[in-house]
Chains A and B, each alone.
Chain A
């Protein structure tokens, strides 16, 4: 009978010591009473180094106030408490130990804190169970990054990095609605590259792409963070200037037009000069919808083309 019991006990201890999760027992004063081999191996500290010592002194990365708050509720409620890597990546900073397959800098950990009853049923100790969740955490984080990238890609135009047409139109819709709520002035620039077809014909399509990229860069440099610029079509661009009246928009448009007129695009050995024509329209109460607003700006663009290109036309606000 005693032999069986000792055998069982021995097995149990062996399992606890070799199990692939960290086990730590702490007394009420946060002194370490048990430190299994998972903890020994990852911390490089033997039981003789650590047993009886205060956990906060041994592991300064563990924030006392935060940890004590969790343990307190375990002691009073006799109820487990949990910490996840999403809230706090780790309790113990264990460096990544896999030179080939490890991509994280440290081990991500989930922890469970459980109350331990003594023979009288009193809870004077707690057990800390530490799970290595590095793989899950890394996968989740990579997925998050990929999703963010995809979100970004689905919103922008590949060549220019400006918003694509669909996204720009969604933003246009929002701005239109915002105008009707708050009546803040708001203007639109609609512009395209003059004689773009002959740029493509004379210099080749890759050069044409370079011109489009150059235009997008000039737009970005000419507007504020809050303005909304998109590539509307092949060589056609659209910008919403928030909180800007027609006259302000005209200034922005002229600055952009001159910037492009004065710059030269170098592609391979070719130097390309080009110009743009711009239609400008400030949103007014009589424009019935986003499409009407685009139409009005388009009318300005048409007029600018008709006037001999390389100029901007502000259509009267209606």
Chain B
């Protein structure tokens, strides 16, 4: 619990601000790449236990099927994984969005999910990295599951950490039936380093 106590309101506000700014930049860049307006929710930031994450996810969606993609990042002692959840997303629309003309089989859907994740998440995390003067390296995105129940994709029982810093952002793309949630989960070890970085900004 100590870690969550260390993460005071002040720091949360600061990280919130950093993330807001990053999201604003990301929205601009995404509009350029995707040629559409991206509606981003205000990021929700909290230190959570694995069970809390699954609760938060359950609020996102409980019954209908989702597709999920993960992408890891690491740099300067801060590491974590992002998970993008596509709620009832239309793959035709994703294909249109990325100018994908080939036939839409399962492989193609996989590629669309990975590319969209890479673009949405990359834009966001790079924005954050720039403000706290860091550089992250990214792993290749990995599709966790397609058209499945959330509980089958994200099993919190197998997670072996106590606390993590979770940032949740909702994306909607204007004119497209694409709606997804981005969860950035930073490991407990990273929180300290992140606090040190934020210290510069707070003081």
CB distance from A28 to the nearest CB of B (A): 16
Q: Which residue of B lies closest to A81 (CB)?
A: B118
Q: Which residues of B contact A78 (CB under 8 A)?
A: 126
- Known A-B contacts A79-B123, A82-B114, A112-B140; A73 and B33 likewise in contact (beta carbons under 8 Å): yes
Bitwise, A85-101 to B at CB < 8 A (1) or not (0) is 01110000000000000
| Shortest CB distance B173–A (Å) | 15
- B122 pairs with A80, CB closer than 8 A: yes
B114 contacts A87, C-beta separation under 8 Å: yes
What's the nearest-Cβ distance from chain B to residue A123, in Å? 12
- Which B residue sits closest to A112, measured CB to CB? B140
Residues of B contacting A65 in the complex (Cβ-Cβ under 8 angstroms): 99, 101
Which A residues are in CB contact (< 8 Å) with B115? 70, 73, 81
Closest to A68 in B: B99
Q: Mark A240-270, 1 if CB is under 8 A from B, else 0.
A: 0000000000000000000000000000000
Contacts of A70 in B (CB 8 A): 115
Chain A residue at smallest Cβ distance from B111: A87
CB contacts (< 8 Å) of B198 on chain A: these are: none
Chain B 16-57 interface mask (CB, 8 Å, partner A; 1/0): 000000000000011011000000000000000000000000
B 112-156 binary contact with A (CB < 8 Å = 1; else 0): 001100110011001000000000011011000000000000000
Interface contact A76-B140, CB-CB below 8 Å? no
Q: Flag whether B63 is at the interface (Cβ < 8 A).
A: no
- Cα of A81 to Cα of B32 in the assembled complex, Å: 16
Assembled-state Cα–Cα distance A164/B122 (Å)? 50
Give A230 Cβ to nearest chain B Cβ, in Å.
29
Q: Which residues of B contact A81 (CB under 8 A)?
A: 115, 118
Chain A nearest CB, measured from B201 CB (Å): 22
Q: Interface size on B (CB < 8 Å)?
A: 23
Q: Please state if A86 and B107 are interface contacts (CB–CB under 8 Å).
A: yes
Residues of A within 8 A of B85 (CB): none
Contact assessment for B99 and A110 in the assembled complex, using a CB-CB cutoff below 8 Å: no
Q: Which residue of B lies closest to A78 (CB)?
A: B126
When the two chains form their complex, are residues A82 and B119 in contact, meaning their CB atoms are under 8 A apart?
no
Rounded to whole Å, the gap between the CB of A144 and the closest CB of chain B is 13
Contact B126 A79 (CB under 8 A): yes
B98 near A76 (CB under 8 angstroms)? no
Kindly state whether residue B82 has any CB partner on chain A within 8 Å: no
A69 touches B107 (CB 8 A): no
**CB-based contact A86/B122 at 8 Å:** no
A76 to B35, CA, bound (A): 12
Chain B neighbourhood of A82, CB < 8 A: 114, 118, 138, 140-141
Which residues of chain A are within 8 angstroms of B165 by Cβ–Cβ distance?
none
Cβ contact within 8 Å between A77 and B110: no
One digit per residue, 1 when the CB lies within 8 angstroms of any chain B CB and 0 when it does not, for chain A 45-87 equals 0000000000000000000011001101100111111101011
How far apart sit A65 and B100, CA to CA, in the bound complex (Å)? Answer: 9
**Cβ-neighbour of B32 out of A69, A76, A84, A110 (below 8 A):** A76
Indicate with 1 or 0, residue by residue over B84-110, a CB within 8 angstroms of chain A CB atoms: 000000000000001111100001001
User: Are B98 and A79 neighbours in the complex by a CB distance under 8 Å?
Assistant: no
Contact indicator A77/B29 (Cβ below 8 Å) = yes
Q: CA of A73 to CA of B114 in the docked complex: distance in angstroms?
A: 13
In the complex, the chain A residue whose C-beta lies closest to that of B112 is A87
Q: Is the CB of A77 within 8 A of B33?
A: yes
Residues of chain A with a CB closer than 8 A to B122's CB: 77, 79-80
Chain A residues with CB below 8 A from B140, complex form? 82, 84, 110, 112
Question: Are the CB atoms of B141 and A77 closer together than 8 Å?
Answer: no
Which of A69, A79, A84, A88 has a CB less than 8 Å from the CB of B99?
Answer: A69
Cα distance A226–B101 when bound, in Å? 34
Q: Could you say which of B32, B107, B119 contacts A87, with CB atoms under 8 Å apart?
A: B107
Query: Lowest 5 A-B CB distances belong to which pairs?
Result: A79-B122, A82-B140, A87-B111, A76-B33, A73-B33
Which A residues lie at the B interface, using CB under 8 A?
65-66, 69-70, 72-73, 76-82, 84, 86-88, 110, 112
Question: A-contacting residues of B (Cβ < 8 Å)?
Answer: 29-30, 32-33, 98-102, 107, 110-111, 114-115, 118-119, 122-123, 126, 137-138, 140-141
8 extra A-B contacts, CB within 8 A, seeds A69-B99, A86-B107, A87-B110: A66-B102, A73-B115, A77-B29, A78-B126, A80-B138, A86-B110, A87-B111, A112-B140
